[in-house]
Amino acid sequence: MNETLIAMRGITKFIYGSDGKPIRNTDVKILNGVDFDLAAGEVHVLVGENGAGKSTLMKILGGIIPPDAGELHIGGQKVDLLNARDAGKRGSPSSTRSSISAPTSTWRTTCSLAGNPGGIGSRMRPRCMNGARPCSRR
């Protein structure tokens, strides 16, 4: 079994009102108790309807927004990410759809964006580059 690099436990994010405060007296949440693990050498794809919370989960992982509840563990240590820079330093780089402008992106370009020196992205990049080549020939 591969080493778990990232573990998210019970991640919850509430919907916010026009006043910028979370609406906590509703049953509707963007994320409700989500658990997610990422082990060395794994590749995951998040699939879901628009508004399902895919981007929100990745923004939490990337330190862009905080969870309203739950825990994030990187390398076995519980962390509270302060911002995207803090996330990158801890090995959890972020690259959401809205932050990348690469309309003609190839698999090679996408893999090269994963390189954060010493972080999880840099450990995954060689696997990404090697794994993507056979698929690109199809």
> Which of 36-45, 71-80, 81-90, 109-118 has the least mean pLDDT?
109-118
**pLDDT, position 22:** 74
pTM over 0.85: no
d(CA 58, CA 46): 9
Q: What is the pLDDT of the chain when averaged over all its residues?
A: 74
pLDDT, residue 85, reads 79
Torsion, CA 40, CA 94, CA 136, CA 134, rounded to 10: -10
Q: Which residue has the higher pLDDT, 54 or 22?
A: 54
The pLDDT tens digits of the residues spanning 99-122 come to 444 555 565 555 555 554 444 444
Whole-angstrom distance, CA of residue 47 vs CA of residue 39: 19
Exposure letters 81-120 (e unless 16+ CB within 10 A, then b): beebeebbbbbbbbbeeeeeeeeeeeeeeebeebebeebb
